[in-house]
Structures are given as C-alpha cells and as structure tokens.
Copies of this chain bind each other. A is one copy, B any other.
C-alpha cells in the first residue's frame, strides 16, 4: 500500500533505447478502468501482479496504489476477463542520476506511442531531464494505460 508520485512525458527521439540498461515485454489488461479506481492484471517477465490504483490528486501526480503478486496461470485466465483491448508494450529502464525513467513503447492499437515516466519520492523533488525527453503530459488521462485500453492511440 503506497502513494505513487510520478510525472509523465512524451519523447523527442529514440536515444533512450541506447541508454536503457534493461527492457521487459509487458502485457496488461483492466478488470476496471474507471477513473476513480483501476484494477490491473499485468504479466511481465514471468511475474504477474494484480494492482489497484485510486484516483489521482488534482495535479495528476499522486495516486493510491496497492499491488499483490499472483500466479501467472491465474493471471492469464484473469486477462481473458478484462475489458476491451489488452495493452502490449516494451518497457525500457533508463538511469538518470538518482532516478530511473521507465519508457514504454506501445504495440498493437497503440503503435507509435512512446511515453516516459519518472517516479518521485515527493511532489517537489527535482530530477534531471535527458535530451530525448519531450513534452510533459502528467495528469492527461488519455495517456493512462487504462484509457489506452479503451481509446487506443490509433483512434486519437
């Protein structure tokens, strides 16, 4: 149980791929993608999680988050129950001073979309912006993965 504080950005170019120290293929779906509470099933690298997230604060930076690891076969079954389309993406991990950017390159109905996120300890914490980092989209709900599963990037 925690509060998730994060900021989200588009990218200017793909230089983040050269800087990434790790990448993971991620498949995820939503048992609920309501704005007030999302329930996500995620499979990444043979690990599976059920995650509940609450509503964002007004600036869109902070959200309640609760996560539990679940059996991968059960996760596959639960994915079949999920709403609309499943999100398929590769997540690149890029170190930037004492932070890590997680950059998601989407496939399927969200192909062409790449979003970088940085998790912070407090809302006012400063952080370095790499040269490939683009426009900030924190708080724009269209970029929530839960929204992308309902209104994918190709329909924007």
Contacts and interface: CB of A to CB of B under 8 A. Distances in A.
A25 to B, nearest CB: 24
Interface in A48-89: 50, 52, 54, 64, 66, 68, 70, 73-74, 77-78, 81-83
Interface string A40-52: 0000000000101
Interface size bracket, A side: 20 to 34
Interface of A: 1, 31-32, 34, 36-37, 39, 50, 52, 54, 64, 66, 68, 70, 73-74, 77-78, 81-83
B32 A52 contact: no
Given A31-B32, A32-B31, A32-B34, A81 B68 contact: no
